[in-house]
């Protein structure tokens, strides 16, 4: 019996010494061979029956010591395995906080969106509302109501994409003037951004481009109000020194009509490459709303007057950011787009 006890002890010690990297499951199975209900240490206890009565206290103590010793040895080994597992997990999950971070690419607003936003901010500050009309428009809103009847030679100013005989891709946001006046009585102060389409394509023209239309209708509105508003706009959008100049022009829906120039932000008016030596840069068309247009919308031209203006956003962006070819604005090359931040 004593020998048996000794053997078991040796067996366990040897096994644990040799199997240093044993798994927890294997350790458990091995432990059950000894300490399980049918394990060999439990068998020793059952064998006590056969031990002579006088030796029983001694043998009993040896068995109980063996059990205590084995429990302790297995517990120690288990603890050791747990620690090793944890250390391995920590090693594999280690995060090197000194590694360079992976930055997420963030987009930037397109220069057209930036300019649009800035213009809207400027006019919203002066009490303008925003109106957006449809891009597929009726001939009536794009031309007829704007005093450009069928066969009128002014239609040639804008090469139009027709969808059907009566519907077209709007060639100007001026169509919004009619839609606004049909739905709202003066006083009117509306800004209308949108895409417009013309069959035209070169370094300064694109078949799709963006416009911003402005319309003010009320009692006693004059060309001076237009000039004052545009002066304020030019100072906010460009520099506080920027001046505006009105030149006579022609649009069927305004009378009188003007072309508006800005003093060149680059040379301050002296003349340079950007303003082609003139000191001025053309930025928009405008004028007093034609009486016929007011009448077409049911607004009495003897009671109300108004002005309208329309500008191309690509053109404003090109002037503001010094871009010399409009096609850059449509190529979506991120190297160019990234340079513009809000
Ligand atoms: N719609 C004109 C154009 O596209 C611009 C304009 C708008 C002129 C409003 C006068 C008044 O050229």
Average pLDDT (318-333) is: 89
Does position 295 have pLDDT exceeding 90, yes or no? yes
Report the pLDDT value the prediction gives residue 172, as an integer from 0 to 100. 96
Instruction: List pLDDT tens digits, range 197-243.
Output: 998 888 778 899 999 999 999 999 999 999 999 999 999 999 999 99
Contacts of residue 29, defined as CB under 8 A and 6 or more positions apart, other chains included, come to none
**Among 198, 285, 294, 314, which residue has the most ligand 1 atoms within 8 Å of its CB, making it the best to mutate?**
285
CB distance 147 to ligand 1 below 6 Å: no
Alpha-carbon Rg for the chain in angstroms: 44
Q: What is the best residue among 251, 290, 294 to mutate for testing ligand 1's pocket, by most ligand atoms within 8 Å of CB? A: 251
Cβ–ligand 1 contact at 287 (below 6 Å): yes
Pocket test for ligand 1, best of 248, 310, 316 (most atoms within 8 A of CB): 310
Cα 259 to ligand 1 centroid, rounded to whole Å: 9
C-alpha 208 to ligand 1 mean position (Å): 16
Residues 6+ apart with CB under 8 A from 161: 168, 169, 171, 197, 198, 199, 207
Question: pLDDT (tens digit, 9 = 90+) per residue, 250-267?
Answer: 999 999 999 999 999 888
Mean pLDDT of the chain: 91
Answer for the pair 5, 44: CB distance below 8 angstroms, yes or no: yes
pLDDT > 90? residue 153? no
Alpha helices (H) in the chain, listed in sequence order: 2-18, 24-35, 40-46, 56-92, 111-124, 139-142, 175-183, 223-237, 291-296, 313-321, 328-331, 334-337
Distance 255 CA to ligand 1 centre (A): 12
Identify the band that residue 171 occupies on the pLDDT scale cut at 50, 70 and 90.
Answer: very high
The winner for highest mean pLDDT among 74-88, 89-103, 225-239 is 225-239
| Percentage of the chain exceeding pLDDT 70 | 99
For the Cβ of 74 lying below 6 angstroms from any atom of ligand 1, the answer is: no
Per-range mean pLDDT, top range of 16-25, 54-63, 72-81, 129-138: 129-138
What are residue 130's DSSP bridge partners? Answer: 191
Window from 204-208, 295-299, 308-312 with minimum mean pLDDT: 204-208
């Amino acid at each position: 019996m004593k020998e048996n006890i000794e053997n078991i002890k040796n067996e366990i010690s040897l096994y644990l010494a040799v199997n240093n990297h044993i798994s927890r499951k294997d350790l458990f199975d091995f432990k059950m061979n000894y300490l399980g209900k049918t394990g060999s240490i439990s068998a020793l206890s059952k064998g006590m029956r056969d031990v002579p009565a006088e030796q029983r206290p001694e043998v009993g103590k040896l068995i109980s010591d063996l059990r205590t010793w084995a429990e302790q040895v297995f517990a120690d080994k288990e603890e050791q395995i747990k620690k090793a597992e944890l250390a391995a997990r920590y090693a594999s999950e280690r995060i090197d906080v000194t590694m360079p971070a992976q930055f997420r690419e963030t987009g930037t607003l397109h220069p057209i969106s930036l300019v649009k936003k800035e213009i809207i901010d400027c006019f919203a500050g002066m009490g303008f509302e925003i109106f957006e009309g449809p891009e597929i428009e009726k001939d009536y809103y794009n031309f007829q109501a704007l005093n450009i009847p069928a066969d009128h030679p002014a239609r040639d100013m804008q090469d139009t994409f027709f969808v059907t005989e009566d519907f077209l891709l709007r060639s100007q946001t001026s169509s919004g003037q009619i839609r606004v006046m049909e739905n709202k009585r003066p006083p009117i102060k509306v800004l209308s951004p949108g895409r417009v389409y013309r069959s035209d394509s070169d370094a300064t023209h694109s078949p799709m481009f963006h416009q911003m239309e402005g319309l003010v209708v009320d009692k006693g509105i004059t060309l001076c109000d237009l000039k004052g508003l545009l002066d304020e706009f030019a100072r906010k959008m460009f520099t506080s020194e920027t001046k505006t100049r009105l030149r006579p022009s022609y649009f069927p829906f305004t009378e009188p009509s003007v072309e508006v120039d800005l003093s060149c932000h680059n040379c301050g008016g002296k003349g340079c490459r950007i303003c082609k030596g003139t000191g001025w840069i053309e930025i928009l068309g405008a004028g007093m709303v034609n009486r016929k247009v007011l009448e077409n919308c049911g607004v009495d031209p003897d009671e109300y007057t108004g002005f309208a203006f329309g500008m191309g956003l690509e053109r404003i962006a090109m002037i503001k950011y010094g871009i010399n070819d409009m096609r850059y604005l449509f190529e979506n090359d991120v190297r160019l787009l990234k340079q513009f931040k809000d």
